[in-house]
Amino acid sequence: MVTVDRVTGVRVSSVTLPLPVPISDAKVLTGRQRPMTEVAMLFAEITTEAGLEGVGFSYSKRAGGPGQFAHARELAPVLVGEDPNDIAKLWDKLVWAGASVGRSGLSVQAIAAFDIALWDLKAKRARLPLAKLLGAHRESVRCYNTSGGFLHAPVEEVLERAAESVANGIGGIKIKVGHPDPAVDLARVAAVREKIGDDVTLMVDANQQWDRPAARRMCRALERFGLGWIEEPLDAYDFEGHAALTAAFDTPIATGEMLAGAGEHAELIRAGGADIVQPDAPRVGGITQFLKVMALADARHLQLAPHFAMEIHVHLAAAYPREPWVEHFEWLDPLFDEHLEISGGRMHLSGRPGLGVTISERARAWTVAEFRV
């Protein structure tokens, strides 16, 4: 076998990204989680004999960041001396190196940072944006904003943020639901629909906080708003319950962001539990595993709307055969020197090679732990 290049160094960094205000969704209102004040980022930087460098990242909200970093630190030496082009082989090598703690969840989320860095490096070697390396179907992707629609914000603020997003070129608005009082949810949805009009796509996200009877009642009540989708109406692993909702209602059901591997997505898709699949590359183990989810979803003629991490997902969504959506959050903007262009309701690919982002000095200043090999 011909070796094209070799990994000479790996740098793993844990970065704590502060959020401007504490964030609350339905999981906070039900007492299951505390408000979110920061995001723990895991960065991997891989350098090679040929002088190339790949950058990848994973993340954790509320808990798990130190665990991801600790596992990544253990695994980093496995990459040294390997050909970085053999990405699938390296994913298997990394996952088996830590197999005693499992092949999903935190372990693969740590591997995701390495896997994404390897894909970034491979696209840079080819001097192509990642989407072009994978085979793009489009130069831009429909995008919707989520960060302005959380439940901690009064409805007046949600309306102002929605109007601002649409004015700035965003194509859809998603707001959080799952309030203990269903009337509050319906009033907020009605207010946003009236504010943005019928021509702008509106989605809602219950963050898994309804049981089956409540989900049926709310899906029925929400039908009149012509929503783009209802997201996570049930527990993420209630595939049968989600399948029943997809069969019963016209409004599409979206879920998948909390699933921690391609195998879990395969079960969801096999059960018919989603009209719109929402994989998250850092959560499923990186781009290598995300591509498997894409293939499964495409085979069942499903729509795709990746969760969070738009800097990665704009490339993957651009390579999906069916017109997808990408979620817009401005939260990660301070971490990178470059930012994505948004206009006409769409997020545009840049011509920069790889992911097209470099870690900012501000992110370096937020580093709380680092390991090099």
Catalytic residue among 71, 122, 132, 176: 176
Residue 83 labelled as part of a binding site = no
For residue 271, how many C-alpha atoms fall within 13 Å in the half-sphere facing its CB?
22
Question: Considering only CA atoms, which of 3, 27, 18 is closest in space to residue 86?
Answer: 3
93 labelled ligand-binding: no
232 is in an annotated binding site: no
Could you give the CA distance from residue 209 to residue 191 in angstroms, rounded to a whole number?
22
DSSP readout, 117-145? Answer: HHHHHHHHHTTSBHHHHH--S-SEEEEEE
Q: Is 207 annotated as a binding residue?
A: yes
Buried b / exposed e over 162-190, threshold 16 CB at 10 Å, is bbebbeebbbbbbbbbbbeeeeebbebbe
Q: Taking a C-beta distance cutoff of 8 angstroms, is the pair 64, 39 a contact?
A: no
Asked whether the beta carbons of 124 and 315 are under 8 A apart, the reply is no
Under 8 Å CB-to-CB from 30, ≥6 apart: which residues? 178, 180, 209
Q: Is 174 annotated as a binding residue?
A: yes
185 a known binding residue?
A: no
Determine whether the annotation assigns residue 161 to a binding site.
no
Active site residue 176: yes
Q: H or E element: which one contains 292?
A: helix 287-299
Strand locations in the chain, DSSP E?
7-23, 36-48, 53-61, 140-145, 172-176, 201-205, 229-231, 253-255, 276-277, 303-304, 325-328, 341-343, 346-348, 367-372
Is position 292 annotated in a ligand binding site?
A: no
Confirm or deny that 145 is annotated as ligand binding.
Answer: no
124 catalytic per annotation: no
Distance, in Å, from the CA atom of 208 to the CA atom of 26, rounded to the nearest integer, reads 8
Buried-exposed string 110-122: b where 16+ CB fall within 10 A, e elsewhere: bbbbbbbbbbbbb
What are the angstrom distances between the C-alpha of 334 and each of 16, 45, 101, 337, 359?
A: 12, 18, 33, 8, 9
Residue whose token pair is 């962001």: 257
HSE-CB at 221 with a 13 A cutoff on CA atoms is: 16
Rounded Cα distance between 133 and 21, Å, is 38
Known binding residue 89? Answer is no
Catalytic-labelled residue, pool 307, 313, 315, 328: 307
| Residue 8 CB neighbours (<10 A) | 16
Point out the annotated binding site: 25-27, 61-62, 174, 205, 207, 231, 257, 327
Active site residues: 176, 307
Point out the annotated binding site for substrate: 25-27, 61-62, 174, 207, 327
